[in-house]
């Protein structure tokens, strides 16, 4: 199809399909609007409106498996490579947890299989899922998170059951790796947000307007194809006070950050916990609102439980919050995500 009228018709068709997929008619919220005229996302009605209004379903075709990572073009990769100035590389993953802890739904069970004069070998296996609140991992764009039985681009739970895994949009789609510009937002720089010890307390929400404020504070501007990463000091707090139950919550993104992601063309998001602020105030029918808005509606994959402690110190020293971001998920066909070790290179 060609021409502006056809493009508009295509967009209307996609919006209609999503409305059916969500199983409800969405009514414009009468609630307050945020900065730049954005609608607030503070309740289920506003959430449903955002799921429809921000949708990228069909934007890159009905069979697309890459989501917003389509915005990482060859030109974007070349520009990202040029960000390497000091040649300093820093891991953005936390050490894999191998012991029981209050915030660990599972751990890595590392077993030595044999030791001999010629060497040794061991076995790695998780006692549960690597998804959750402790292991550094990337969610595949499809299947891991759904809303009312559908994932990104309309992938259905019936398809997942029939395939015994994620048939499209699984982690194998990212087998060639992620190579783009990363921006580290240091939320402790926001006035009134951080404790004197240098972290945000659980339940502290970071809104779209806060990211815009951090752009000014850190003198950086998010552009299409970027990975945005949010530092809240989760691991610093954990080291000082010990692990805490996930039911006590985390500082993190409020749902209206989805507007910022759509407007700026964000390719991936990441965080030092599970990204969504908790408690978030939404009903169980919504679940983690930003997870659903990002993965299901926008097609933006999510890095959970990264560790920015060393990177944030380097960024503060260099006074530079942008860098080359690289990550290589495991090649697992039908997989719904992957543990991994992303790298920031300044």
pLDDT band per the 50, 70, 90 thresholds, residue 38 = confident
Tokens describing residue 93: 């993953």
Q: Rounded to a whole number, what is the distance in angstroms from the first to the last CA of the chain?
A: 43
User: E strands, 17-163, where?
Assistant: 89-91, 108-116, 119-126, 137-139
Over residues 319-334, the pLDDT tens digits come to 999 999 999 999 999 9
Look-up of token digits 């069909």: 58
Give the Cα separation of 141 and 205 in Å (integer): 24
Distance CA 149, CA 156 (A): 6
**Share above pLDDT 90 across residues of the chain, in percent, rounded to a whole number:** 89
The domain locations on the chain are 64-94+136-345
Token pair belonging to 13:
């068709």
166 Cβ neighbours under 8 A, 6+ residues apart: 140, 142, 143, 144, 155, 160, 334, 335, 336
- In total, the chain counts a number of residues equal to 346
| CA gap 300, 72 in Å, rounded | 12
Q: Which CATH class is domain 64-94+136-345?
A: alpha beta
For 190-236, write each residue's pLDDT tens digit. 999 999 999 999 999 999 999 999 999 999 999 999 999 999 999 99
What's 245's DSSP letter? -
């Amino acid at each position: 199809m060609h021409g502006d009228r056809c493009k508009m018709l295509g967009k209307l068709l996609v919006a209609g399909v999503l409305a059916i997929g969500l199983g409800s008619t969405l009514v414009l919220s009468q609630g307050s609007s945020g900065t730049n005229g954005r609608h607030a996302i503070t309740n289920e009605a506003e959430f449903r409106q955002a799921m429809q209004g921000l949708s990228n379903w069909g934007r890159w075709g009905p069979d697309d498996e890459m989501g917003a990572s389509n915005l990482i073009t060859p030109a974007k990769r070349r520009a990202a490579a040029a960000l390497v100035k000091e040649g300093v590389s820093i891991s953005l993953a936390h050490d894999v947890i191998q012991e029981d802890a209050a915030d660990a739904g599972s751990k890595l069970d590392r077993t030595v299989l044999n030791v001999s004069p010629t060497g040794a070998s061991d076995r790695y296996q998780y006692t549960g899922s690597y998804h959750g609140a402790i292991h550094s991992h990337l969610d595949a764009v499809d299947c891991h998170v759904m809303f009312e039985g559908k994932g990104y681009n309309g992938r259905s739970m019936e398809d997942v059951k029939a395939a015994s895994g994620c048939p499209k949009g699984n982690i194998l789609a990212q087998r060639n790796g992620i190579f783009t510009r990363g921006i580290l937002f240091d939320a402790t720089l926001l006035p009134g947000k951080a404790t004197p010890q240098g972290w945000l307390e659980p339940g502290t929400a970071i809104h779209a307007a806060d990211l815009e404020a951090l752009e000014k504070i850190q003198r950086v501007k998010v552009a299409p194809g970027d990975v945005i990463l949010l530092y809240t000091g989760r691991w610093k707090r954990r080291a000082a006070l010990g692990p805490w139950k996930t039911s006590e919550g985390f500082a993190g993104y409020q749902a209206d950050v989805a507007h910022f992601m759509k407007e700026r063309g964000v390719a991936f998001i990441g965080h030092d916990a599970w990204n969504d602020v908790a408690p978030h105030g939404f009903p169980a029918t919504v679940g983690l609102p930003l997870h659903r808005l990002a993965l299901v509606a926008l097609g933006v994959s999510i890095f959970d439980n990264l560790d920015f402690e060393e990177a944030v110190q380097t960024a503060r020293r260099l006074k530079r919050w942008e860098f080359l971001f690289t990550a290589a998920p495991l090649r697992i066909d039908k997989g719904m995500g992957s543990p991994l070790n992303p790298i920031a290179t300044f």
